[in-house]
Chain A
Amino acid sequence: MHEVMQCDRLFSWPGREALDIPARSLCVLGAPTDKGNAISRGAALAPSAIRQASLNCEPPKLTCTDWGDVVDNAADLGTYLESLSDQVAHILERGLCPLILGGDHSITYAPVSKILERRDICLIWFDAHTDFSPWQGPDSHTHKQVLRRISKLQGVKNIVQIGHRGITIGDERDLGPKSQVITARAAETLSETTFVDLIPKKLACYISIDIDVIDPQWVPGTSAPVPDGLNPGAISQMLTWIIRNREVIALDVVEVNPRQDLGSSSSQVAANLLRNIAESWESQIAKQ
């Protein structure tokens, strides 16, 4: 575990020492690893870049907490994910809501598997890709197969994949009986009611935001950009709808790649999304 400096914390939120944070508040945890990304390195730099970009935003009204990074000093990604999983457990024990800053998308396995020890979930997967490549076996974690792997876990009752697009070899719009794939083009036309109805009311939601769900004209800094995506406003809108209408148990933002970025535009888009989440998060605390 690595404590980040106060000035680099997301929105300058207090660190682990803050004890007066209300239950169900967001608790930031950086996962600076890109060992699960087969395409390029760089996502490991994202937690720091997003925190830096967050300082350009007006601070959200709600004060949450930033516990720093889980340092990636293991050569083995599986070992790292276990460490990340342990820290997520600590956050859950404190009654807080983990907000993970990846890292590549393979990290999502760690918080999801830890949460599933406590309750069933509906997975909301914002992504240009389905991440449903064939799974290479229990010792292999990559960002290309992470959703396939997670979908096999007991307790993942529902999956809503939003933003799939591009040109693919096969038709990936059917990921199995508990999954719904909403293409980027289809997502543009959804109303709040139609969208929220996709998510079962009784299930807590885990929201995973692969930043490549957003069109690369706003987010060029990601390792596998796909043209013709959604605009940041549309994603913010959908996040607000979920937070307002459903229980959210944890979130992550992954695949920001500062090495591929133009300036810090992609990190800034990620920071803006997080601010939007924080601004609407009071309704989640009130749900308690």
Chain B
Amino acid sequence: MDEQLDNLECETVQRPFAENGQGPNKALLIHYVICPDLIVESASDSHVTLCNRETASRFRLSQAAYHFLKRFHSPSEIDKIAPGASSQLANSIRYFIEKGLLVDANAPATVPMPKQRRTVAVKFCNAPALHSSLSPADFIILGIPYDCAGELECRTAPARIREKSLDYEYGADIESGRPRGWMDVNAGCRILEGATIHDAGDMHIDFGESAAKFFSRCSTTIKEATRLSSCPVILGGDQSISYPLIASLQQDMPLTVLRIAPDPHLSHNQGIAAPYQAETYRKIQSLMNVKDVVCFTGKGFLSLDPADQEMPQNKPPKPHSISRNIDDYAAILDQNYALYISIDMALFTSPYGLSALDSAIPGLSWLRPVQQMLKRIGGSHKIAGIDIVGLDSDAAAHPLFPVVACHLLLQTMHIAHMYKGARHA
């Protein structure tokens, strides 16, 4: 036995090797090898940190334990490496096996389960990462950098929005310990005071995975998120990501979907499970508990006839009600139903605006009507979920549009928070 093995230390408790019925004799027959997914992340004179690239798990070993582990660089039986292992050594080997640092060299390779989410380095407004130890939050942020349903590259948007959101740092009041919210200067009031936010990271995307499977995973993740918060806030992605979220949320409550976008974008259902972008809202409209889909185009509200989805293909959608007056929102958005708000950033990047013919970005002129509408809605509806989609990489690279996205998200989250306050009052 090597002397340095007396100093084995690998963050494990001392337990008998055969405690759970896996006797040492059986384990001794297996050829073990170092897990091929391990890398050394950092090393000091006394310790080494290993990282499993597949699971992102990290292990801190003493130098002695690390040197002992390295003896399994080629498949070997335990008895060959450490004949007559001491109790401490046996515990270390057990730890290596349990934690997957040593694997059976002859076992068939397992296909790893796709991860649901991955952590992100930069959190939205620097809010805390979602963790099981935290109390449920008012809002959970989830990025879905998926853009395979359209032609625009929107996969960079969640990262860009989060990066810009660091200008609006989430923090707590020292006295009360409650989130302090932010000041909306033009509105002349504080917003989101006391609202708790956690960032759940991004949906893991396996490009090449079927869209139906991916959307199914999104629905599952959203279900999990709604258990942990009042309101999920999704950073897309293209507009197709709204579908699995709305599909999931409408199972628990009837919804009106309010879409803020340059056009209704409703084409006819081609009967596919995973809708292409143009089909998204046709599919959403057909969901059982979605009571209405209303599009706010900046020029007013456009609500489509639910029966229209049965119309033959190539026939344009028929509006059953339209209003150019923001004050008519109450008549159009039924207050008996919760509201899902989807904001398509294409409205603001579009070359069409109000009367701002001389402006460089005419689409930005829609911002004020949208803010006015959100203000009017504020407090009158339960907001079931929020998404922001359609921020393509060209726009996201400019400092302006991630700022617009952050402002709209915080202002929309505020109206969701206002409802909660009103209800509790």
Contacts and interface: CB of A to CB of B under 8 A. Distances in A.
A140 interface: no
Interface in A163-210: 164-173, 183-185
A260 B188 contact: no
Nearest to A173: B185
Interface in B179-204: 180, 182-186, 188, 190-191
Given A166-B407, A169-B168, A223 B399 contact: yes
26 contacts: A39-B399, A164-B185, A166-B185, A166-B186, A166-B407, A167-B168, A167-B410, A167-B411, A168-B182, A169-B180, A171-B183, A172-B183, A184-B185, A215-B364, A217-B353, A217-B356, A217-B360, A217-B364, A218-B358, A219-B360, A220-B361, A226-B403, A227-B403, A227-B407, A228-B186, A263-B360
Nearest to A184: B186
Interface string A254-274: 000000101101100000000
Classify the interface of chain A: helix, strand, loop or mixed. loop
A224 interface: yes
Given A217-B359, A220-B361, A183 B185 contact: yes
A165 B190 contact: no
B245 interface: no
Interface string A137-161: 0000000000000000000000000
Interface in B348-401: 353, 356, 358-365, 367-368, 371, 398-400
A40 interface: yes
B364 A216 contact: yes
Interface in B288-306: none
Contact of A169 (B183, B371, B403, B407): B183
A169 B182 contact: yes
Given A40-B399, A260-B398, A266-B360, 9 more contacts: A168-B182, A169-B168, A169-B183, A217-B365, A218-B356, A218-B359, A224-B399, A228-B186, A263-B360
A225 interface: yes
Most buried by B among A39, A166, A171, A224: A166
Contacts of B371: 228
B-side interface size class = 20 to 34
Contacts of A173: 185
Contact of B398 (A184, A220, A263): A220
Contact of B367 (A223, A227, A262): A227
Nearest to B408: A227
B82 to A, nearest CB: 57
Contacts of A185: 186, 188
B404 interface: yes
B406 interface: yes
Contact of B400 (A169, A171, A183, A225): A225
B171 interface: yes
Interface of A: 39-40, 164-173, 183-185, 215-220, 223-228, 260, 262-263, 265-266
Contacts of A171: 183, 190
A184 B188 CA distance: 11
B169 interface: yes
A156 B180 CA distance: 33
B391 to A, nearest CB: 14
A260 B169 contact: no
Nearest to B411: A167
Nearest to B400: A225
A264 B304 CA distance: 41
B268 to A, nearest CB: 35
A265 B403 contact: no
A166 B186 CA distance: 7
Nearest to B410: A167
Contacts of B184: 167
A224 B364 CA distance: 16
Contacts of B361: 216-217, 220, 262
Contacts of B171: 169
Contacts of B399: 39-40, 223-225, 260
Contacts of B168: 167, 169
Contact of B403 (A184, A219, A225, A266): A225
Interface string B156-190: 00000000000011010000000010111110101
